[in-house]
Each structure stands twice: as C-alpha cells, then as structure tokens.
Amino acid sequence: MDQETLMTIAGYGKFFIILFIFVLFYSYAYSIYKRDKTGERDFEKYSNLVLDDSLDSAPLEKRETK
C-alpha cells in the first residue's frame, strides 16, 4: 500500500473514531439526563456525601445489613 492511501485510511479512521466516541459520550450523557428528569435517580443528592460526612450522621442510603 502506498503512503498516500495509508494516510487517507488513517484520516478516515481518525474521523470515525472521534465520531464513534462522540456518539457514545452523548448517548451516555442523555441517559443520565433522562434518568434524572424522569425521577428514576436523583444524582445531585450524592453531593451530600461530602457535606454531611460525620460518622454519627445518618447515611444517605442506608446499607441493608444481615
């Protein structure tokens, strides 16, 4: 294969790799947004894990213990 063909393939490869990852990223972003909007999961409440982190405060989501 000559150099020019190789460069062309590499160029297309680069474009499609970036396109694929963009699609993947935005699909994941959309799924998070949708779950948040429909109330399936409230992501923002997890910030409290930092602000309320003393050992004697109640856990945000208590773990089931046997």
Partner 1 sequence: MQSNAQIEYDYSVVRLFTFATILFGIIGMSVGVIIALQLAFPELSNLLGEYGTFGRLRPLHTNGVAFGFTVGGIIGTWYYVGQRTLKMSLSESPFLMKVAKWNFWLYFITILLAVVTLGMGYSTSKEYAQLEWPLDVLVVIWWVLWGVAMFGMIGMRRERAIYVSTWYYMSSWLAVAMLYIFNNMEVPTFLFSGDAPSSIMHSVSMYAGTNDALVQWWYGHNAVAFVFTTPIIGMIYYFLPKESGQNVFSYKLSVLAFWGLMFVYLWAGGHHLLYSTVPDWMQTMGSAMSIVLILPSWGSAINMLLTMKGEWQQLQTSPLIKFMILASTFYMLSTIEGPIQAIKSVNAIAHFTDWIPGHVHDGTLGWVGFMIMASLYHMAPRIYKRELYSKSLMDTQFWIQTTGIVLYFTSMWIAGITQGMMWRAYDEYGSLLYSFIDTVEVLHPYYTLRAVGGTFYLIGFLMFAYNMFKTATAGRVLDKEPANASPMAS
Interaction site with partner 1 (CB under 8 A):
6, 9-10, 13-14, 17-18, 21-22, 24-25, 28-29, 32-33, 36, 43-51, 53-57, 59-65
CB of 38 to partner 1, least distance (A): 13
Query: Judged by CB, which is closer to partner 1: 38, or 61?
Result: 61
Residue 48 near residue 42, CB atoms below 8 Å: no
Residue 16 near residue 27, CB atoms below 8 Å: no
The single-letter code of the amino acid at 32 is: I
